[in-house]
Structure 1
Amino acid sequence: MLEQTREDATSPWHQGELAVQRSVGVVERMDGPGRNFVRKAMPEQHRAFFPMLPFIVLGAVDTKGDVWATVRAARPGFMSSPDPESLDVDLPRDPADPADAGMEDGDAIAMLGIQLETRRRNRLNGVIRRTDAEAFRLRVGQSFGNCPQYIQPRSSVFVRDPDRPTEVAPLHAGQLDHHMRGMIEGADTFFVASYVDRDNGERQVDVSHRGGDVGFVHVSADGVLTIPDFPGNRFFNTLGNFLVNPKAGLVFVDFETGDMLQLAGKVEVLLDSPEVTSFERAERLWRFTPEEIVLRPDTLPLRWRKESPDLLRRSRG
């Protein structure tokens, strides 16, 4: 059980984030950045950034309480910010996407805007305000930027009109098949969604990027994923959420085919495990057991080309 101190009660971080920060001795050091960099409104550069993007990463919680990560693509300009507290998103409902069930009016949602070619990324979370099935407005709860670490540069092109959905039906499964394992084991990038319900009754969802060299995610014979946690900004939003609520949603994208693999399941955080030595430069590990699996072939209208593969290794140097 996570204990709360008097100092914790006024912290910008919740108990899970504080627990991980405490495990590495950075609670006091991260108090200032939490107050200064995690904003309740978007700065001007973020408001200009989101409209440039051809896709967005989303995290949402379905009616069963499972969290899903997803990627949605559209022509740049499908997002706009009428004011610093709002982001308008012109994306129609998608019943093939398991994350869509968590995108009703009033639902909490998370967004990651990431520009792979420049390695820029900015995060948002907040509440959906929806009046129809074609678009929604995000009322900002938290807004903050992230550094470019571990982002593999890629350029992208549309191969079809993003308004035209794929004709290939999704595949729902209870366990990973050979193709799904290949997508995971061959990945250098994935996205992860998590959430907590705060003491004030508000739901706080987060979605973030994870990157490493190809094969950095290990898959056991029984389908459990072991994922290294590399040195980062010490916010520990994702791992902190896991300590409070051990649920996660992962999405892997095949950047050459547009296939998307979405997984929802349970997490175990290993803050101090001897296995960490098996993962180069990892500081800790987490394990993910998939419980629901959705493979969506050709769902994304974009195709990406990897640029300067040595940059990822240098970003970790």
Structure 2
Amino acid sequence: MTYHSGSRAVQDRVGVRDLADHVGQAVGQGIRPVAAAFLEQQPMLVAGAADPATGAVWASLLTGPPGFVRATGVRQISVTGRPSEDDPLAAALAAEGTLVGTIALDPRTRRRMRLNGRSRPTAGGFAVEADRVFANCPKYLQRRESYETVGRRPGEASRSGGLSPRQRALVEAADTFFLATVHAHGADASHRGGNPGFVHADGPSELRWRDYPGNSMFLTLGNLEADPRAGLLFLDWTSGTVLRLTGTARAAYAPDGERTVRFTVTGVVETPEGSPLRWSPPEYSPANPSLP
């Protein structure tokens, strides 16, 4: 099924079930040749899953030379390399049958592709057998013209239960983050974008953002309707700092239809220079709403 009861509940609340059914026709299990070619051009992949030991949901960044992610079957992608040992998803992606969501996003072309399924370890990394494959529109994606791979050595990961003032500043300066959610039969990784300041840090343990209008599928909010666990991933696109947050999220619906998501932080893992990619400055999406 494209939608479970959580997504259906949100679609009905907003009044977009018919539109969601139409958009959902583009969701499949197979990886088309154009999608396979897109994957092989990417230097990064975001994966979201639950830690098998704690149940906490995290989103993590994987990088490599183009071709490190590739389609190795009509319903399978293979990833060369694994997360570092201090990555909160290291155990999940090394296990058999982990429910995992992935998103490949190319800032150069403002294209993105999501593939959700089950992972299994391989000799050189891991593979994901797809249950759901689909693309999203370029809405709210910032264009970054180019990147270079620099010789960074990731620093030691630091862990805490809340955000420091510096980390809160990184969050509030972000124009992009990634969001991992789960439900009983799957996991998903999605993208959120906007002008800097679209995410607010109301304290060391509370974030909020407006849920901008999208494709009406409500996969993310539907997952949160069924299971509030979530993981957020913020990147410093210049320095390579990788900031991962885990916690719970809930959506509030205003009478005028506007939605706000509030995220409660329960864990933070920051890796200085965790990404070897240095991207050019952004050209903000013309779809980004103006901020007050």
Question: 1:4: which partner in 2?
Answer: none
The CA deviation string for residues 131-158 of structure 1, in whole angstroms up to 9 with x for no partner, is 43x3112111100000000001112110
SS at match of 2:280: strand
Question: 2:181: which partner in 1?
Answer: 194
Question: 1:70: which partner in 2?
Answer: 60
Tell me how far apart the structure 2 counterparts of residues 48 and 313 of structure 1 sit (CA, whole Å). Answer: 27
89-98 or 178-187: bigger deviation:
89-98
* TM-score between both structures, scaled by the size of structure 1: 0.86
Q: What amino acid sits opposite 1:181 in the alignment?
A: R
Tell me how far apart the structure 2 counterparts of residues 246 and 224 of structure 1 sit (CA, whole Å). Answer: 14
Tell me how far apart the structure 1 counterparts of residues 82 and 286 of structure 2 sit (CA, whole Å). Answer: 38
Cα distance change, pair 189–72 in 1 and its aligned pair in 2 (3 A): same
Question: 1:313: which partner in 2?
Answer: 286
Equivalent of 1:137 in 121, 127, 140: 127
Shift of 1:45: 1.0
Equivalent of 2:77 in 68, 87, 91: 87
- RMSD over aligned CA atoms reads 1.8
SS at match of 1:95: coil
Shift of 1:93: 4.2
* Matches for 1:15-30 after TM superposition, within 5 Å: 15-30=5-20
SS at match of 1:96: coil
Shift of 1:316: 5.7
Moved over 2 A (4+): 313-317
Shift of 1:221: 3.1
* Matches for 1:102-251 after TM superposition, within 5 Å: 102-103=92-93, 104-132=95-123, 134-154=124-144, 155-160=146-151, 165-166=153-154, 168-197=155-184, 203-251=185-233
Sequence identity (%) = 36
The yes-or-no answer on 1:48 pairing with 2:48 is: no
Question: 1:200: which partner in 2?
Answer: none
The CA deviation string for residues 241-280 of structure 1, in whole angstroms up to 9 with x for no partner, is 0000001100100111100110000112102278xxxxxx
The CA deviation string for residues 113-133 of structure 1, in whole angstroms up to 9 with x for no partner, is 11001100010011112243x
Question: 1:304: which partner in 2?
Answer: 279
Tell me how far apart the structure 2 counterparts of residues 227 and 140 of structure 1 sit (CA, whole Å). Answer: 30
Shift of 1:29: 2.6
SS at match of 1:313: coil
Shift of 1:223: 3.0
Tell me how far apart the structure 2 counterparts of residues 261 and 315 of structure 1 sit (CA, whole Å). Answer: 23
Instruction: Tell whether the 8 Å contact from 2:205 to 2:266 is kept in structure 1 after alignment.
Output: no
Aligned length: 287
Q: What amino acid sits opposite 2:168 in the alignment?
A: R
Tell me how far apart the structure 2 counterparts of residues 219 and 316 of structure 1 sit (CA, whole Å). Answer: 19
Which runs of 5 or more structure 2 residues have no equivalent in the other structure? none
Shift of 1:308: 3.0
Shift of 1:219: 1.1
Q: What amino acid sits opposite 2:46 in the alignment?
A: V
Tell me how far apart the structure 1 counterparts of residues 63 and 170 of structure 2 sit (CA, whole Å). Answer: 20
SS at match of 1:30: helix
Tell me how far apart the structure 2 counterparts of residues 100 and 185 of structure 1 sit (CA, whole Å). Answer: 27
Larger radius of gyration: 1
The yes-or-no answer on 1:293 pairing with 2:268 is: yes
Tell me how far apart the structure 1 counterparts of residues 112 and 175 of structure 2 sit (CA, whole Å). Answer: 17
Question: 1:279: which partner in 2?
Answer: none
Shift of 1:33: 2.6
Structure with higher strand content: 2
* TM-score between both structures, scaled by the size of structure 2: 0.93
Tell me how far apart the structure 1 counterparts of residues 105 and 65 of structure 2 sit (CA, whole Å). Answer: 15
Cα distance change, pair 123–173 in 1 and its aligned pair in 2 (3 A): same
Instruction: Tell whether the 8 Å contact from 1:73 to 1:300 is kept in structure 2 after alignment.
Output: yes
Instruction: Tell whether the 8 Å contact from 1:267 to 1:288 is kept in structure 2 after alignment.
Output: yes
Q: What amino acid sits opposite 2:199 in the alignment?
A: V
Tell me how far apart the structure 1 counterparts of residues 247 and 283 of structure 2 sit (CA, whole Å). Answer: 34
